[in-house]
Amino acid sequence: MALKLFNTLSRSVEEFVPLDPAGKRVGMYCCGPTVYDLAHIGNWRTFVFGDLVRRYLEFKGYSVQHVMNITDLDDKIIRRIRETSTPLREFTARFEGAFFDDLKTLNCRMPHQTPRATEHIPDIVSLIGKLMARGLAYQTPDGSVYFSIEKYRAGGGCYGQLVKLNFDEMRIGERVRNDEYAKEAVADFALWKARVPEDGDVSWPSPWGDGRPGWHIECSAMSMKLLGPSFDLHLGGEDLMFPHHEDEIAQSEGAGVQHHGQPFVKHWLHGAHLLVEGKKMAKSLGNFFTLRDLLAKGFTGRDVRCLLLSAHYRETFNFTLEGLQAARASLTRIDDCLRKLREIAGPARLAENPPLVDQFSAALDDDLNVSAAWAAIFDAARETNRKLAEGAMDAEAAAIALATWEKLDSVLGVGAPPEVEIPAEISALLEARQAARKARDFKRADAVRDELKAKGWVIEDTPKGARVKRL
């Protein structure tokens, strides 16, 4: 079945058809973190969503080139390095390192390329040069360079492809220097910001004088450099639609580098926000959890990943610790079922897709309907548990069920349960209990069982013998 995805450009669900004539290669750009602080789990919702898209495309046989930029240069970063008197690279390296550690903890596949803005200044300058040459950018007396929305529109460019904008309110040539602004403040935006004293030593030479790029042009330059002037998928959280992505389209298409009227990006995907008590989880509101906050509470990366993947990406959903607890309980149900299957499974391969794989892909083909995909998995787990309880699961059926789960988990990435190391003392008690049973000393066997229980372990008698598991 064909994959269908909601495209913010057309505001409709469309069949995903890659630009590659062979239909195999897919270029995908995800706007990455601004490394001025630890990412909060709202940010992670968006990054895990990007990972889901990539994994599902790979599951469907596409060869994905996944690029995620590192915004290591923007207004917020400059403000922070000034406040903390830290050199730029030293400051950003700390948060970039933490970002990659968290990416691993959440079992996200590493993007193939993670370009840093500071390492692409020549590409950015060259792109601004193209816009200047085409008359779409202009320099102001302070040396900054702005994108002219009026000229772009006059030349046939469409500004407002992702969001509806009201141009009646707009005053021609009005400018906005900040990288972040509201829709109501639509105005010419900065491509190159002339150096000001507050920038310290963060500046680069350019044909327009010393300065630094605006945030939006960074993504246009890096995405087109690594994926070409037209590529398939561009992702980010819904707040990036305006002005970031709208500005990216204007700059990239304004440069006129696409072939035969092709768009800069074919499919735009935007993930809805993670909320806390009805409000966007955000640093500025102080209502956020970082991944590390949750790990400190005893949760694992897979618990958090499972929660973030529990709702459809276009639905906002409220973060609660109870919700996270429920995600953990769901994973435990799956883990228990898998453990029982492993105990009886023989060797087997999947000759063809079992119905569960088809149900799962039908759900995800439908604009990544994860809720339906999870529902199919939990139905199957219930049925498997029933058969296991009735002894109706043989070695081959168990092996097929396990192989099926591995296949689905290549997309979900909630991983196998960590192997619990059994302390020597506990193993010794288990052996003592077995010996007591063999000697028909049931009183002693029960006493050892109780002792194990007091230490937090229970005995399970399985077809492959007795084993212990954590309470």
CA distance 32 to 226: 15
Question: Least distance (Å) from ligand AMP to the CB of residue 112?
Answer: 19
Asked if residue 31 binds ligand AMP (CB under 6 A), the reply is yes
Which residue in the shown chain puts its C-beta closest to ligand AMP? 237
Q: C-beta of 206: minimal distance to Zn ion in Å?
A: 21
The amino acid at 12: S
Residue 254 Cβ, how far from Zn ion at the closest point, in Å? 16
Considering only CA atoms, which of 215, 210, 417, 217 is closest in space to residue 333? 417
**What distance, in Å, lies between the first and last C-alpha atoms of the chain?**
43
Nearest CA to 146 out of 247, 265, 222 is that of: 247
Does 100 help bind ligand AMP (rule: CB under 6 A)? Answer: no
Residue 219 contact among Zn ion, ligand AMP, none, beta carbon within 5 to 8 Å by kind: Zn ion
Q: Does 31 bind Zn ion (CB under 5 A)?
A: yes
Q: CB under 5 to 8 A by kind: which of ligand AMP, Zn ion, none does 273 bind?
A: ligand AMP
Q: Calculate the alpha carbon distances from 125 to 144, 145, 386, 408 in Å.
A: 12, 11, 64, 44
- By the rule CB under 6 A, 214 interacts with ligand AMP: no
Site track for Zn ion across 201-220, x = CB under 5 A: ------------------x-
Distance CA 41, CA 292 (A): 9
The label of the residue with tokens 């390296």 reads 93
Token pair of 111 as six digits: 């993007």
3-state secondary structure (DSSP) of residue 441:
coil
Instruction: Fill in the DSSP letter of residue 159.
Output: S
Which x/- pattern over 46-75 shows residues binding ligand AMP (rule: CB under 6 A)?
x------------------------x----
Binding pattern for the stretch 273-292 against ligand AMP, x by CB under 6 A and - elsewhere:
xx-----xxx----------
Nearer to ligand AMP by Cβ, of 236 and 243: the residue is 236
What whole-number distance in Å separates Cα of residue 313 and Cα of residue 330?
A: 19
Binding residue count for Zn ion, defined by CB under 5 A: 2
C-alpha pair distances (Å), 133 with each of 153, 177, 186, 401: 16, 21, 24, 61
Stretch that binds ligand AMP, among 142-150, 268-276, 323-331, 349-357 (CB under 6 A): 268-276
**Site residues, ligand AMP (CB under 6 A):** 31, 33-34, 42-43, 45-46, 71, 236-237, 239-240, 271, 273-274, 280-282
